[in-house]
Amino acid sequence: MSNGPKERLDRRDFMIASIATASASAALAVTAGAANAQAAATVSADPASGTVYTGDTIQGKKVVSALNVKDLEPGKKHLLYFQGVQMPTGQHWYVSVTVAKGAKPGKRVVLVSGVHGDEMSSVHTVQTVMNQLDPAEMSGTVMAVADVSRPAMEGLQRRWPNFGRGNDLIDMNREWPGNENGPTAPSRHAGLLFNRLLRPNADAAIDFHTGTTGFDVTAFNIAGMDVPEIKAMAELYPVGQIFDNHVYPGVLHNAFVDVGIPSFTPEIGAARVLNIEMISLFVEGTMNVLKHFGILAGPMGRTSKDVGVFIGNSALPILATQGGLVEHLVKLNDKVEPGQKVAIQRNSFGEVVAEYTSSVAGEVTGQRSDAMSEPGDPLTFILFHKATLNGGETYPE
């Protein structure tokens, strides 16, 4: 936090400070007074100062409100709960943390899953990696964080249900690096996690995702390939596509990159299900990354070179123009040519009301899996190479 917002926060009792970037809207004052206690409760100890045990134990696991993995005993696995933001009842949302602390010192890699609540293959990938680790044989530390967006995960849905300003569904992967004094509980939850758990323990970080409910994707990595440390990691995965783009502000891997920690996002197929075949590819790639950093010994597994990876720097969204039933004419990973028909749509009489074509040459990277759609819904994403790219791109969701 910079001095400016901190001083203002002291003076005015309570501010919602979206800090840093000196935009005119960076600090938004809200009603002062009643919030004294809140400000005092949320502006607290330096998160870099070390591990804080709350004294609570949940289902046999100790609870921390800040963690520095250097405080943990080497050569062991540690299972902890991180204390996140409070619920409306006053209890906390707790996040599961597994640390494999190597017997010898070395690099620290953070594996995250559950930022979206319906992306089960991401959780299983991280669990599988952690189950394969033997801390006695490791030089360095791997920390796994699951169920980041707890209330979203409890409902097996993408977004965090929040009613602070009327019913709302908040996408946690547009909130990072969060704000411990932010305007919503998810924003504060992100701030607590980023400042007190994720950032202090990462030399590199991987934030695992999948497609979303109603929309399937291939196995691919979203990675800024212009950053050598990120390119090196992304290329260690034996998966068929890399999306070389800096994408949305507010995504977790960008928050890491913004503070100098190389990071990227694997995408592991469909939401809600476990895609065991795809999961094994991402486990193999992640074990390669741990070998790359010297945390594990042993030969590399298969990499992107072994699967003839296709790298695109843009994704063409093909949006429904009509309501109706959608029939895909191509499959995930298919190559398409400009002018190629990729989907048709029928109304309730069975008449064809729309035909959708690709305007680019590329590969299918995402497809609507819910068979009905309304105008504006993304039907297909085509990964392709754009000659001139103006920074990170955002897409209809």
Neighbours of 349 (CB within 10 A): 7
Q: Which stretch binds Zn ion (CB under 5 A): 50-58, 201-209, 230-238, 311-319?
A: 201-209
In the complex with Zn ion, which residue's Cβ is closer, 153 or 330? 153
In the complex with Zn ion, which residue's Cβ is closer, 119 or 216? 119
Q: What is the nearest approach in angstroms of Zn ion to the Cβ of residue 116?
A: 4
Q: What is the nearest approach in angstroms of Zn ion to the Cβ of residue 290?
A: 23
Q: Is 159 a binder of Zn ion (CB under 5 A)?
A: no
Question: How far is residue 230's CA from residue 223's CA, in Å, rounded to a whole number?
Answer: 7
In the complex with Zn ion, which residue's Cβ is closer, 209 or 292? 209
Nearest C-alpha neighbor of 184 from the set 47, 85, 41, 36: 85
Write each residue from 58 to 97 as x if it is in contact with Zn ion (CB under 5 A), else as -, in one continuous string: ----------------------------------------
Hey, which residues between 297 and 356 contact Zn ion (CB under 5 A)? none
Q: What is the nearest approach in angstroms of Zn ion to the Cβ of residue 350?
A: 35
In the complex with Zn ion, which residue's Cβ is closer, 159 or 209? 209
> SS3 string of 188-218?
HHHHHHHHHHHHHHCCEEEECECCECCEEEC
Q: What is the nearest approach in angstroms of Zn ion to the Cβ of residue 184?
A: 19
- End-to-end Cα distance, the chain: 31
Number of alpha carbons in the 13 Å side-chain half-sphere of residue 342: 32
In the complex with Zn ion, which residue's Cβ is closer, 226 or 397? 397
Q: Which stretch binds Zn ion (CB under 5 A): 32-40, 73-81, 116-124, 251-259?
A: 116-124
Q: Is 209 a binder of Zn ion (CB under 5 A)?
A: yes
Q: What is the nearest approach in angstroms of Zn ion to the Cβ of residue 120?
A: 11
Burial class from Cβ neighbours inside 10 Å (0-12, 13-18, 19+) for residue 363 reads buried
Q: Which stretch binds Zn ion (CB under 5 A): 112-120, 130-138, 179-187, 292-300?
A: 112-120
Number of residues that bind Zn ion (CB under 5 A): 3
Token reading at 165: 């300003």
Q: What is the nearest approach in angstroms of Zn ion to the Cβ of residue 321?
A: 26
Whether cis (ω within 30° of 0) applies to the bond prior to 105 is no
Q: Which stretch binds Zn ion (CB under 5 A): 24-32, 111-119, 247-255, 352-360?
A: 111-119
Q: What is the nearest approach in angstroms of Zn ion to the Cβ of residue 359?
A: 27
Torsion 256-247-187-59 (CA) sign: negative
Site of tokens 């921390």: 64
Pair 58, 83: CB distance under 8 Å: no
Q: What is the nearest approach in angstroms of Zn ion to the Cβ of residue 173?
A: 6
Q: What is the nearest approach in angstroms of Zn ion to the Cβ of residue 140?
A: 27
Among 78, 116, 189, 196, binds Zn ion (CB under 5 A): 116
Q: Is 101 a binder of Zn ion (CB under 5 A)?
A: no
Which backbone phi and psi does 133 adopt, to 5 degrees?
Answer: -90, 135
Give the C-alpha distances (Å, rounded to integers) separating 117 from 3, 18, 74, 78, 213. 35, 25, 32, 24, 10
In the complex with Zn ion, which residue's Cβ is closer, 207 or 363? 207
Give the C-alpha distances (Å, rounded to integers) separating 118 from 110, 165, 274, 283. 21, 24, 11, 19
Where do contacts with Zn ion occur on this chain (CB under 5 A)? 116, 119, 209
